[in-house]
Amino acid sequence: MKTSQLTPSRLVLALLAAGAIGGAGATAVSGSVSMAANAPSVATAPQTINTSSPPNFAQITRDFGPAVVNISVSGTRKVSADDDDPFAQFFGQIPGSRGRMPAREVPMRGEGSGFIISNDGIILTNAHVVQDAREVTVKLTDRREYKAKVLGADPQTDVAVLKIDAKDLPVVKVGDVNQLQVGEWVLAIGSPYGLENTATAGIVSAKGRSLPDDTSVPFIQTDVAVNPGNSGGPLFNDRGEVVGINSQIYSRTGGFQGLSFSIPIDVAYKIKDQILEHGKVQHARLGVTVQEVNQDLANSFKLESPSGALVSSVEKGSAADKAGLQPGDVVRKIDGKTIVSSGDLASLITLSSPGEKIKMDVWRAGGPKELVATLGGIPKDKTQASAGEQDVQRGQLGLALRPLSPQEQQASGTEGLLIERAAGPAAKAGIEPGDVLLSLNGVPVHNVGQVKEALSKAGKTVALLVQRGEDKIFVPVQIG
């Protein structure tokens, strides 16, 4: 379960707000009662409140609990030897040493949840549940266990798709997130702390919530008790339909504190469909940097309210640039959907497809304007990074590379390819982001095409010559 921490200032403000509202409410009620005893009676219109009882959570759990699975993963992760040294925090780096102790691989185990969406074994869960996993085991409520294959994972939305070799499995029903309302009852089933098929209930606190460190998903916020191990489990509405995947919590302790966030099921299905059809996920890109609109900025731009996404920069040649978007524009709607905060814009664009056309309602120079943009895809260097991640799944090298800029060549005194990300076999061998790849099996490489060509002729092990700082070293990498 991903956790985030509220800053002290935000927490204090929240507590003060709660105290002010609660205190004022108590005082007002008390005062009304004492005055009512001496005041003349006044006829008021009766108020009708729907007092319907909570849904039958027991029935929902009986019907769909068998489709919720426990997921256990095993693998390795890299840690520095300093992490195991109890005195490192007191003495820090040893004088005369060149850096931290070398990283080493340590065993990693974890648990999460998931749910079956087709009776032939397709399962949805969180990407962070299966991250770095070498082996994934799915356990059903009837105690049967299966080895699972990760068909694909999208870290940007935190959605992963698994497959087990089984038939006639129980499945969940999928609901319509658009019909979900704030205040509705919801139910979560998962494996918090490894306690399988645990059910917890609450209400929807908010919809379309953008988190500070994650603007790709319009989260459903609830007060359902969600803890480590609930990640990837389903969030049911009061009709027993899955409306979300439990993904994150806000916490200062690592445990539940009343703020849980779920990925809307329509977002998860969009990612699932791409993975099943193409084996990977493509996200659209507009090519702008945006910021929030506060009251001062709203006054400056003559906006009625502080809402929208303020464009601070536009990437040259991007979809935004071609559409005519300019710094200082405030994007207020995308295809008729209101943009309240900058996170709303990021969510809508990320969940669109490259090549898709969008209509933008923009506020410019004190007046409205309409623009149409044809969304682009991930830039070439980042596309290569995605390809590298796909290669990791197929037992390949696992590097995201790009050519050095002239300034970087001058600073490093060499030519080669900058390693932007390392995963899989390369990361296991000790390759790190920031290293410069000089050659592969003795063949100098200056572009990604040369790396691919060298790999096509390589065996199960390749020798990478990398430069790290002023040092050059050959690193053997097993890719078979």
Q: Which amino acid makes up residue 288?
A: V
Catalytic site residue 158? yes
Tokens 């005082």 -> residue: 27
pLDDT at 24: 30
Instruction: Look up 435 and say whether it is catalytic.
Output: no
- The per-residue pLDDT for 441 is 77
- Residues 258 and 223 sit within 8 Å (Cβ to Cβ): yes
Q: H or E segment at 300?
A: helix 295-300
* Residue in 158, 214, 344, 391 annotated catalytic: 158
Question: 128 catalytic, yes or no?
Answer: yes
* Predicted structure pTM score: 0.65
Can you give the pLDDT at residue 109?
86
How far apart are the C-alpha atoms of 422 and 132, rounded to whole Å? 12
CA distance 212 to 132: 25
Q: Per the residue annotation, which of 72, 113, 128, 329 is the catalytic one?
A: 128
pLDDT at 3: 65
**pLDDT tens by residue, the chain, 480 residues:** 676 554 433 333 332 233 332 333 322 333 333 333 343 444 444 555 555 677 899 999 999 999 999 999 988 766 655 555 544 443 444 444 444 455 567 787 889 999 999 999 999 999 999 988 889 999 999 999 999 999 999 998 999 999 999 999 999 999 999 999 999 999 999 999 989 999 999 999 999 888 766 667 899 999 999 999 999 999 999 999 999 999 998 877 777 888 999 999 999 999 999 999 988 898 899 998 888 888 988 888 889 999 999 998 888 899 999 999 998 899 999 999 999 888 889 888 988 889 999 999 999 988 999 999 999 886 544 433 333 333 323 336 788 888 887 777 777 777 888 888 888 788 888 888 888 998 887 788 888 878 888 887 877 778 788 888 877 787 888 875
Please name which of 171, 159, 161, 160 lies closest in space to residue 240, comparing C-alpha atoms: 171
> Do the beta carbons of residue 455 and residue 397 sit within 8 Å?
yes
Q: Cα–Cα distance between 377 and 391 in angstroms, integer? A: 20
**Cβ contact 50:71 at 8 Å:** no
400 forms bridges with which residues in the sheet? Answer: 421
Could you tell me the sign of the dihedral formed by the alpha carbons of 124, 129, 132, 137, in that order? negative
Q: What residues does 111 pair with on adjacent strands?
A: 72
- What domains are there in the chain, each with its CATH number? 1-15+55-80+102-278 (2.40.10.120), 288-374 (2.30.42.10), 380-478 (2.30.42.10)
Active-site residue (options: 113, 191, 205, 231): 231
Burial of 415 (0-12, 13-18, 19+ CB in 10 A): middle
